[in-house]
């Protein structure tokens, strides 16, 4: 499913606000909704390289975000967060793990593994299995509010409220304070799937309700561990654990049936198309050595279709309902098996044969727009010795004869000169980036260390590229091995450049001392860009805002988060966060409006609107709720603990929350006024 922008604002706790949030994040990792949105990594590289990259990633990981916004900036490594501070986070989701592209390694040379491992930057999206995307500007229906009260499930369908089920928990955990999970509407709001009788092992009983029909709810199954719904809600897939096996089931709106009895149990390795016409999933081969990728129609009589026997990655696109996957290229019969596997990338349209996109793929990612694909592949050209070496001893060496002092050194240098003349070089360790769009594979960058797609309707990516190293004087080379060592060292110690690229051939280098590829963001029309630059002397980050291809127009320090307003070049950013509050700023390209004592904010993805909490009471975890629009702030309520944005200017929130009793009052803001829905509410379901 595509990610819904549901958020919690102004979370604080007299017991310990930071611990509350950490617990909430850990609990939600186990939730059904979190599992469906979770990004898992499956690095395909040598153990040494993977470990090196993982270690580096762990060292550069950003601390928990304090803001509510779709994209959060890397927090600087400071000690400003304390247990008493108000912690504001996006609706609790599992954190994304750093990615490791498949590493092209052609030589048994430890330096290659070391250099590539160190150069892989930790900010790229995970090399993952999952369903990706949906248009980033979709206008979602406000599908209603689902909430928990007295361990019972309640729903407000924008007209009426009703209790629909008793006994949410049967000893298991379904919420963390005022955030709950496991129950949701379909994207169009016509169907509701809910989990009750949650056990200690996190399994539950799954039910279906047709919102627009006067029919009894359907008890789908018991002992369910995970489920995923099509866009229209008419079809759903779910899993159950039976002994050591994981069974996969399909539900067609009236009944469920077994689709496969022993699938790969990773929650991110299966998906249902938005159209609801077919599913993808993986199974281990009979000998357990490889993963097999399957597609299957949702009809009960359908047979699974084997797409790939040696699967490295598989992702389903939301907008086009296609599968993009990479499989290991198998040697021909009788050929020697290489210790360094190569992979090919494919596109699969349901009902047709897979189409190969490229060989030698090292990374594959369906872009957030749900239709285009970012790939990386092996560089085909060697790094020529002639491009790495300058001959500063040509004249002097020409005069040295056999038997002269220094002849052995000259002899070694002559070997290097011969290799330079013959066009010899080093096998490339850097990569080429491609974007597959509208049926065409477009090369967008070379000398790439890593790349990641940007959340945008258009096909944009950010690439981390190595600069061309300065040539090494031949006088400093003591052996031919020193050439490779010098080249790899230049990659490691050199300052990479960061470029913004798109599928149509545009490429723009981003200005800065040490631009951070993570958390780059674009305006809706893709003419303005925001990113973070690091001061190498102090390690502090600065927000930079510029026209794409132009000079930096705004530079600000101590930024926690930033984003452009919907269909606007106006920028909202949050800075100087300390002791639970900071300053919210709105920059229109010339002037900046500042609002102080803000505890958290949410930038609406579908309107030029910001919701924020001000005047935080950290002891109670509450603040005054405001909405900012067209330069004017309007107070909506007081004593608010958290919110869930419902799109189209609508908002659900809890106020007067008692953390000791886990109870608060539930309100719904319809864009004009706030309506009290209920009292003594435990949690809102985030979906």
- 491-506 pLDDT, tens digit per residue, is 888 888 999 999 999 9
Joined tokens for residue 438:
């509208």
Mean pLDDT of 510-523: 93
pLDDT digits (tens, 9 = 90+) for 202-244: 999 999 999 878 889 999 999 999 999 998 899 999 999 999 8
pLDDT at res. 494 = 83
pLDDT at res. 635 = 98
CA distances from 168 to 147, 173, 195, 216, 663 (A): 11, 9, 7, 18, 16
- Distance in angstroms (rounded) separating the CA atoms of residues 532 and 519: 8
Q: Which helix (H) or strand (E) covers residue 418, if one does?
A: helix 407-421
pLDDT at res. 8 = 37
Q: Which helix (H) or strand (E) covers residue 628, if one does?
A: strand 622-629
Mean pLDDT of 352-372: 96
Sheet containing 571-578: which strands, arranged edge to edge?
559-564, 571-578, 581-587, 592-603, 609-617, 622-629, 632-645, 651-658, 663-669, 674-681
Mean pLDDT of 289-317: 96
Joined tokens for residue 171:
């000893």
Name which of 619, 585, 617, 586 is nearest 599 in CA terms.
Answer: 617
pLDDT at res. 468 = 86
- DSSP secondary structure string for all residues of 209-258: EETTS--PPEEEEEEEEEEEE-TTSS-EEEEEEETTEEEEEEE-SS-EEE
Q: How confident is the model at residue 427 (pLDDT cuts 50, 70, 90)?
A: confident
pLDDT at res. 138 = 47
- Distance in angstroms (rounded) separating the CA atoms of residues 644 and 629: 18
Mean pLDDT of 656-670: 95
SS3 585: strand
- DSSP secondary structure string for all residues of 255-312: -EEEEESS----TTS-EE-TTSSEEEEEEE-TTSSSEEEEEEESSTT---EEEESSEE
Q: Which residue has the higher pLDDT, 213 or 179?
A: 179
User: What single DSSP character describes residue 475?
Assistant: G
pLDDT at res. 132 = 53
Residue in the block written with tokens 């400071």: 78
pLDDT digits (tens, 9 = 90+) for 234-276: 999 999 999 989 999 999 989 999 999 999 988 778 999 999 9
pLDDT at res. 380 = 84
Joined tokens for residue 118:
């160190």
Give CA angle at 539 (533, 542), nearest 5°: 30
Longest dimension (CA), the chain: 102
pLDDT at res. 51 = 31
Within its chain, how far is the Cα of 578 from the centroid?
Answer: 27
Mean pLDDT of 409-431: 94
- Distance in angstroms (rounded) separating the CA atoms of residues 62 and 77: 8
pLDDT digits (tens, 9 = 90+) for 70-125: 332 332 332 223 222 222 222 222 233 333 333 322 333 333 333 332 222 222 22
């Amino acid at each position: 499913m595509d990610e819904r922008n549901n958020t919690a604002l102004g979370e604080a706790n007299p017991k310990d606000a930071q611990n509350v949030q950490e617990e909430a994040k850990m609990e939600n990792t186990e939730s059904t909704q979190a599992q469906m949105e979770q990004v898992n990594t499956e690095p395909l590289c040598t153990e040494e390289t993977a470990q090196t990259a993982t270690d580096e990633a762990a060292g550069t990981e950003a601390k928990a975000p304090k803001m509510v916004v779709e994209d959060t900036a890397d927090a600087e490594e400071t000690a400003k967060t304390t247990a008493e501070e108000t912690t504001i986070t996006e609706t609790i989701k599992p954190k994304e793990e750093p990615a490791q592209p498949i590493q092209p390694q052609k030589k048994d040379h430890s330096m290659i593994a070391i250099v590539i491992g160190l150069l892989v930057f930790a900010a790229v999206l995970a090399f993952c299995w999952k369903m990706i995307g949906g248009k980033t500007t979709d206008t979602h229906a406000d599908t209603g509010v689902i909430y928990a009260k007295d361990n019972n499930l309640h729903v407000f369908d924008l007209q009426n409220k009703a209790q629909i089920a008793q006994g949410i928990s049967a000893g298991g955990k379904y919420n963390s304070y005022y955030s709950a999970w496991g129950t949701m509407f379909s994207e169009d709001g016509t169907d509701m799937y809910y989990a009750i009788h949650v056990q200690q092992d996190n399994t539950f009983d799954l039910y279906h309700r047709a919102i627009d029909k006067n029919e009894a709810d359907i008890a789908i199954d018991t002992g369910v561990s995970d489920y995923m719904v099509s866009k229209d809600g008419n079809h759903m897939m779910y899993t159950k654990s039976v002994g050591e096996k994981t069974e996969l089931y399909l539900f067609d709106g009236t009944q469920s049936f077994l689709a496969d009895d022993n699938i790969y149990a990773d929650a991110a390795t299966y998906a249902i198309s938005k159209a609801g016409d077919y599913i993808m999933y993986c199974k281990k081969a009979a000998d357990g050595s490889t993963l097999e990728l399957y597609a299957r129609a949702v009809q009960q009589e359908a047979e699974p279709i084997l797409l790939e026997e040696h699967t490295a990655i598989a992702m389903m696109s939301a907008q086009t309902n296609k599968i993009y996957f990479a499989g290991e290229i198998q040697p021909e019969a009788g050929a020697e098996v290489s210790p360094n596997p190569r992979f090919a990338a494919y596109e699969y349209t349901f009902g047709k044969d897979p189409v190969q996109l490229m060989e030698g793929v090292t990374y594959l990612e369906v872009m957030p727009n749900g239709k285009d694909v970012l790939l990386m592949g092996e560089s085909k050209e060697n790094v020529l010795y002639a491009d790495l070496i300058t001959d500063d001893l040509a004249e002097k060496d020409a005069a040295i004869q056999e038997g002269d002092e220094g002849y052995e050194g000259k002899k070694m240098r002559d070997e290097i000169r011969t290799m330079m003349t013959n066009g010899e070089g080093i096998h490339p360790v850097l990569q080429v980036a491609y974007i597959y769009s509208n049926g065409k594979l477009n090369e967008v960058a070379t000398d790439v260390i890593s790349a990641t797609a940007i959340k945008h309707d258009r096909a944009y990516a950010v690439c981390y590229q190595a600069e061309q190293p300065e040539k090494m004087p031949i006088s400093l080379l003591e052996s031919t091995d020193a050439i490779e060592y010098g080249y790899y060292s230049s990659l490691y110690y050199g300052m990479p450049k960061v470029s913004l690229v798109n599928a149509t051939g545009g490429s723009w280098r981003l200005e800065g001392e040490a631009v951070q590829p993570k958390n780059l963001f674009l305006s809706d029309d893709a003419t303005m860009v925001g990113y973070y630059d690091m001061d190498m002397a102090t390690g502090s980050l600065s927000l930079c805002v510029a026209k794409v291809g132009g000079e930096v127009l705004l530079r600000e320090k101590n930024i926690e988060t930033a984003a452009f307003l919907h269909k606007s070049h106006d920028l909202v950013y949050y800075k100087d966060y300390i002791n639970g509050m900071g300053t919210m700023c709105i920059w229109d390209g010339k002037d900046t409006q500042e609002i102080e004592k803000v505890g958290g904010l949410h930038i609406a993805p579908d309107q030029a609107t910001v919701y924020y909490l001000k005047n935080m009471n950290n002891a109670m975890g509450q603040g005054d709720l405001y909405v900012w629009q067209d330069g004017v702030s309007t107070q909506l309520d007081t004593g608010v603990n958290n919110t869930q944005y419902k799109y189209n200017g609508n908002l659900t929130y809890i106020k007067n929350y008692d953390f000791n009793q886990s109870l608060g009052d539930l309100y719904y803001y319809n864009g004009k006024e706030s309506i009290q829905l209920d009292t003594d509410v435990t949690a809102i379901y985030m979906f």
